[in-house]
Structure 1
Amino acid sequence: MDKQIQEMSRPDYRRIYNDIIIKKHPDKKEKCQSFLLKKQLSALDIIKLNSLIFDSGDRECIAFNQKNKAYNRSAIQEILEYQIKNKLNNTQLASHFKLSRNTIAKWKKMIMS
């Protein structure tokens, strides 16, 4: 029952990003179309979609977005699987996802134990 409640409380990112693209960034619709056609977006898909839409090089915007990121257990597992699949060390992974190396190390300890 808890799983059903969690699934229902998860935002519909596909609809949210679709609305943002239509209203604010219609020029980026083609780039993002492959993500928007998916039935359910994974955590990595959301991160990629967000970077496609908003990362324009504005330092203030990037800093604001970084402060407001939150990751659930499945997102953390996806990121750590990405590290294994692409044979990245903690520094490379942190740089790729714009995270702290300490955060990656903390997640590894949390998942391993």
Structure 2
Amino acid sequence: MEKSSPNYKQIFKDILDRKYPEKRNACENILNKTTLSIVDVIEINTKIFGKGIINNSQKFRSYKKSDILNILDYQKENGLNNSQLANHFRLSRNTVSKWKKLFLV
């Protein structure tokens, strides 16, 4: 049985409609996408709540392979080192190194 992921688009639309209607325009370009990647979810979460709301503990966060590859592509596109990427996405530098070893042979 395949585990389904949450409908982040609907979750964020509901949050914006009920609590933050003034931030809807800033998030519209992300919400118009067909599917949201983890990068999109982190970006819209930051736009709505700011960086302070994200828990520093990443112990229970999981990423799909496609999301990991998007994060590593983000690193290449923006010329970030592992520490900068880890800080941006609130990851461990060791996690970034492990992903690079696994997916960028």
Q: Which residue of 2 aligns with 1:50?
A: 45
- Looking at secondary structure, tell me which structure has more helix per residue: 1
Deviation at 1:79, TM superposition (A): 0.4
Deviation at 1:31, TM superposition (A): 0.7
1:100 aligns with 2:95: no
Deviation at 1:32, TM superposition (A): 0.6
The answer for unaligned runs of 5 or more in structure 2 is none
Q: Deviations over 1:16-52 (max 9, x none)?
A: 1101111121121111111112222222111101111
TM-score after normalising by structure 1: 0.78
Q: How many residues align?
A: 105
Does the 8 Å contact 2:56/2:90 carry over to 1?
Answer: no
Q: Which residue of 1 aligns with 2:83?
A: 91
Q: Deviations over 1:31-81 (max 9, x none)?
A: 111111222222211110111112263xxx332675553211111111011
Write the letter of the residue equivalent to 1:34.
N
Q: Which residue of 2 aligns with 1:35?
A: 30
Write the letter of the residue equivalent to 1:78.
N
Distance 1:20 1:64 in 2: 22
Higher relative contact order structure (alpha carbons within 8 Å, sequence separation ≥ 6): 2
Write the letter of the residue equivalent to 1:12.
N
1:72 aligns with 2:67: no
Write the letter of the residue equivalent to 1:32.
C
Write the letter of the residue equivalent to 1:20.
I
Write the letter of the residue equivalent to 1:92.
Q
Q: Deviations over 1:76-107 (max 9, x none)?
A: 11101111122211011111112111110111
Write the letter of the residue equivalent to 1:102.
N
